[in-house]
Structure 1
Amino acid sequence: MPHFNAFIILLSKSFHGAIKGVQGVENIKKSIVASPREMSTHQNEDGDEDVMKKVTLLTEDLYHLRDTYFPVDPQEKISKLQNHVNFALSLLDSIPSEQWKSTSQRANFEFLRGKILDVFPDYRKEAEDHLSKAVKLNPSFADAWLCFGTDNQVQMVEDSIRHAKEAIALDVKDGNSWYNLGNACLTRFFVTGACDHTKLLPSLKAYQNAEKDESMKSNPDLYFNSATVNKYLENYERALTGFQAAALKDPGLNASEEVEKMGLVRGKRLASLASSLSEVNLNSSHKKLPVRLLLEGVNKEVVVTGKVLLFIKHDSVAPLYYLLCDPEQTYFVLSVYGLRADVITEGDQLTVVAPYFRDVNFLWNSKQYQFKSIRVDFLEQVIRNGKALAPHQAAQTSIYAEHKP
Structure 2
Amino acid sequence: MNSTLNNEENDENNTANSKNNQETIESLTEIVDELYKFRDYYFEEHPLDNALEKSKDIENKLQNTLDILNRNAEYAVIEHRARYFYLKGRALNVLPKYNKDAEDLLLKAVKLDPKLVEAWNELGECYWKKGNLKEAKNCFVGALNYTKNKISLRSLSMLARQEICNNKDEMLSNIEKGLTLAKEAVQMDPQDGLSWVVLGNAHLSAFFGISQNPKTLKLCLSAYSQAERDIIARSTPDLHYNKAITLKYEEEFLQALESFSLASNYDPTWEPPQQKKKELIKYLNNVSEMVKTSGKMKVKRLKQIVQSIDNKQLGPYSGGKYTSSGGQAVKLDEVLLSNLSVGLNEEKVMLGKVVCSIYNEDKVPFTFCMVDKQGECCAVTVFNIAETKGVIIGDSVAIPEPFITEIDFSFEENTFKFRLIRVETPCVLVVNGKKLGKEYQAGVQMSIFRKFD
Give TM class, smaller chain: 0.5 to 0.7
| Structure ranking higher in helix proportion | 2
Superimposed CA distance per residue, residues 295-349 of structure 1 (whole angstroms, 9 cap, x where no aligned partner): 3333232211121111111211211111111222221111111223443111111
**What is the match of residue 162 of structure 1?**
180
Among 338, 341, 344, the residue aligned to 2:391: 344
- CA shift, 1:197, in A, is 2.2
Q: Distance in 1 between matches of 2:333 and 2:422?
A: 18
**What is the match of residue 238 of structure 2?**
221
Change (3 A) 1:357 1:124: same
- CA shift, 1:145, in A, is 5.6
- CA shift, 1:170, in A, is 3.6
**What is the match of residue 172 of structure 1?**
190
Q: Specify the SS of the correspondent of 1:264.
A: helix
Contact 1:348–1:384 (Cα < 8 Å) also in 2: yes
- CA shift, 1:187, in A, is 0.7
Q: Distance in 2 between matches of 1:228 and 1:245?
A: 13
What residue identity is the alignment partner of 1:313? Y
**What is the match of residue 261 of structure 2?**
244
Q: Specify the SS of the correspondent of 1:309.
A: strand
TM-score (norm 1): 0.59
Q: Distance in 2 between matches of 1:353 and 1:267?
A: 24
Contact 1:289–1:302 (Cα < 8 Å) also in 2: yes
What residue identity is the alignment partner of 2:184? E
Q: Distance in 1 between matches of 2:200 and 2:385?
A: 26
Within 5 A, what are the aligned runs for 1:77-226?
Answer: 122-123=134-135, 147=164, 152-192=170-210, 195-226=212-243
Q: Distance in 2 between matches of 1:192 and 1:344?
A: 25
**1:386 partnered with 2:433:** yes
Superimposed CA distance per residue, residues 227-260 of structure 1 (whole angstroms, 9 cap, x where no aligned partner): 0000001000011111111122233242122122
Instruction: Name which of structure 1's ranges 160-169 and 179-188 shifts more when overlaid on structure 2.
Output: 160-169
What residue identity is the alignment partner of 2:240? Y
What residue identity is the alignment partner of 1:270? V
Within 5 A, what are the aligned runs for 1:247-396?
Answer: 247-250=264-267, 251-262=269-280, 263-265=283-285, 267=288, 269-272=290-293, 273=296, 275-276=302-303, 277-278=306-307, 279-281=309-311, 282=314, 283-284=318-319, 285-340=331-386, 341-395=388-442
Structure with larger RCO (C-alpha < 8 A, sep 6+)? 1
- CA shift, 1:361, in A, is 0.8
What residue identity is the alignment partner of 2:391? I
Contact 1:243–1:259 (Cα < 8 Å) also in 2: yes
Instruction: Name which of structure 1's ranges 244-253 and 305-314 shifts more when overlaid on structure 2.
Output: 244-253
TM-score (norm 2): 0.53
What residue identity is the alignment partner of 2:412? N
Contact 1:354–1:381 (Cα < 8 Å) also in 2: no
**What is the match of residue 230 of structure 1?**
247
Within 5 A, what are the aligned runs for 1:48-67?
Answer: none
Superimposed CA distance per residue, residues 52-76 of structure 1 (whole angstroms, 9 cap, x where no aligned partner): xxxxxxxxxxxxxxxxxxxxxxxxx
Instruction: Give the % identical residues.
Output: 26
Q: Specify the SS of the correspondent of 1:370.
A: strand
Work out which of the two has the higher radius of gyration on C-alpha atoms and give 1 or 2.
Answer: 2
Superimposed CA distance per residue, residues 144-163 of structure 1 (whole angstroms, 9 cap, x where no aligned partner): 96626896433433333333
Q: Distance in 1 between matches of 2:371 and 2:163?
A: 39
Q: Distance in 1 between matches of 2:441 and 2:290?
A: 30
- CA shift, 1:362, in A, is 0.9
**What is the match of residue 157 of structure 2?**
none
What residue identity is the alignment partner of 2:178? S
Query: Where does structure 1 lack aligned partners over 5 or more consecutive residues?
Result: 1-116, 126-143, 399-405
Query: Where does structure 2 lack aligned partners over 5 or more consecutive residues?
Result: 1-129, 138-160, 320-330, 446-453
- CA shift, 1:180, in A, is 1.2
Contact 2:426–2:436 (Cα < 8 Å) also in 1: yes
Q: Distance in 1 between matches of 2:218 and 2:262?
A: 21
Within 5 A, what are the aligned runs for 1:394-405?
Answer: 394-395=441-442
Q: Distance in 1 between matches of 2:343 and 2:244?
A: 20
What residue identity is the alignment partner of 1:256? Q
Q: Distance in 2 between matches of 1:269 and 1:148?
A: 40
Q: Distance in 1 between matches of 2:216 and 2:279?
A: 23
Contact 2:366–2:390 (Cα < 8 Å) also in 1: no
Change (3 A) 1:121 1:162: closer
Q: Distance in 2 between matches of 1:196 and 1:178?
A: 20
Superimposed CA distance per residue, residues 97-146 of structure 1 (whole angstroms, 9 cap, x where no aligned partner): xxxxxxxxxxxxxxxxxxxx99x994478xxxxxxxxxxxxxxxxxx966
What residue identity is the alignment partner of 1:264? L
Superimposed CA distance per residue, residues 190-211 of structure 1 (whole angstroms, 9 cap, x where no aligned partner): 2126x43222110111111111
Contact 1:311–1:346 (Cα < 8 Å) also in 2: yes
